[in-house]
Amino acid sequence: MSYSFRQVSYNLPGLGKMATSNQANYNDRNEITGWTTTVNDEPAIIRYRLPSNQRIVSDAYAQSGKAVMQCYLSTKSQWEICAE
């Protein structure tokens, strides 16, 4: 069983439509067993970048409340979509 809590579609000039999603996976006892993240239905990871220079920062830095862009990086095609 899985529940999608975030799904975003983008229309990128010159590239067309792209989509990201992040889903929590649950077992029969309704406990979270993991996460599934995708870019255009390809497996992906989430990472964070600084808005000023796009440098990658740690998860701890991103959780500190400072301004970051959340990025979805496809592990297959290497497409990356970021948003503030």
Count CA atoms closer than 13 A to 30's CA, side-chain side: 0
Domain boundaries, the chain: 2-83
Per-residue pLDDT of the chain in tens (84 residues, 90 and over written 9):
555 577 888 888 888 888 898 888 888 888 888 889 999 999 999 999 999 999 999 999 999 999 999 999 999 999 899 887
Q: What is the pTM of this model?
A: 0.79
| Helices within 1-84 (DSSP H only) | 59-63
The token duo for 9 is 């579609």
